Amino acid sequence: MNMLSRKASHDSHGQDSSYFLGWQEYEKNPYHPIQNPTGIIQMGLAENQELVDFMAKIRENGIKFASEKLVLTAGATPANEILMFCLADPGEAFILPTPYYPGFDRDLKWRTGVEIVPMHCSSSNGFRITSSALEQAYQQAQKLNLKIKGVLVTNPSNPLGITMTKTELNHLVDFAIDKNIHIISDEIYSGTVFDSPKFVSITEVVNERITTVNNNSITSIWNRIHIVYGFSKDLGIPGFRVGMIFSNNETVVAAATKMSSFGLVSSQTQYLVANLLKDKKFTCKHMEETQKRLKRRKEMLVSGLRNAGIRCLKSNAGLFCWVDMRHLLGSATTFEAEKELWMNILCKVGLNISPGSSCHCCEPGWFRVCFANMSEDTLEVAMRRIKAFADSITISTSVVRGSIAKWEN
């Protein structure tokens, strides 16, 4: 069974020209002033070493990343698309737990022809991934005659704002081993974790299992795990467009490197970011301060919503909360009622939030509300508006119920 796509498996990139061969020779014989003073000097490419050091630091050095297994991309969006091109052919599919980032419908499918099979998670267990939900999604794909090539997760989750537990990650690993498929873990929010439990990467879970139970099935899954990361969230520099793919699969790294030529990170940007990451004291302080501010802002949002009688899913990461407004839907608990509520909040209240249906949530009445892209003063204004709106709905509902009660009596 070919685990990769036809594009990744066959060399049709034209990388046998002297231009590309020069790069390959450099990789074999890189210059070093002491260790290899006669080696080839690479002119115009920033090293990946600072990037892998930074990724390891976020994971408290629980796992080491090799720079030769890293591919730079112009942001996390092309990183995810490139992995789709590498791992699946048009008409094949990836399972995504719901709710998921609405942009994936564009990023993963539009140009690749890859399909998405939603794995429906429920509020009854806090939207956590279960073995049964994974299996149900797989069976649904078979009914649709779709070949599943892997599962893609965001950890921490967008839009839930929660880190995945070791139990969930082990469910994923067991599932991928059983079905002989890939796992893509989009970890772009890994540095935004501001509360316990701490962030655990799937690489740490697999590494731990390899160390304790070293058998062929565990070792082989290592080549089918791929990490996506970027600096837009953790360092707050989305305009720099610096993303990356980390994979232990040499064929995937080679194919992704070829594809990245269609969306390169400029040498100037690479040089600037590499120098920024060299300042370990600054990046460490920056991350600590960012996490502190995110926690404070999240608590402001949760407190303001609670004051309006609105609850949130308990979260510990990200730039948003998953907000429960099911009680504001009225008697009709439908996606039509959710859309009507959303339109009222957008047009009458003046708040742009994302309805759960846009994230493929299977339960009407959930919304993603961002809290990090505004000042504290603006957030307070937003909370006053939502409270006034929620209060007006509560009053209207009470009046209607009172009228019905009188009529019935």
Task: Tell me whether the omega of the peptide bond preceding residue 197 falls within 30 degrees of 0, making it cis.
Answer: yes
Q: What is the 3-state secondary structure (H, E, C) of the chain?
A: CCCCCHHHHCCCCCCCCHHHHHHHHHHHCECECCCECCCECCCCCCCCHHHHHHHHHHCCCCCCCCHHHEEEECCHHHHHHHHHHHHCCCCCEEEEEECCCCCHHHHCCCCCCCEEEEEECCHHHCCCCCHHHHHHHHHHHHHCCCCEEEEEEECCCCCCCCCCCHHHHHHHHHHHHHHCCEEEEECCCHHHCCCCCCCCCHHHHHHHHHHHCCCHHHHHHHHHEEEEEECCCCCCCHHHCCEEEEECCHHHHHHHHHHHHHCCCCHHHHHHHHHHHHCHHHHHHHHHHHHHHHHHHHHHHHHHHHHCCCEECCCCCCCEEEEECHHHCCCCCCHHHHHHHHHHHHHHHCCCCEEHHHHCCCCCCEEEEECCCCCHHHHHHHHHHHHHHHHHHHHHHHHHHHHHHHHHC
Overall residue count recorded for the chain in this entry: 409
Kindly list the catalytic residues. Answer: 101, 186, 188, 233
Report how far apart, in Å, the C-alpha atoms of 339 and of each of 160, 327, 331, 336, 355 are: 19, 14, 14, 5, 7
> Is the Cβ–Cβ distance between 373 and 322 less than 8 Å?
no
The whole-angstrom separation of Cα 59 and Cα 190 is 8
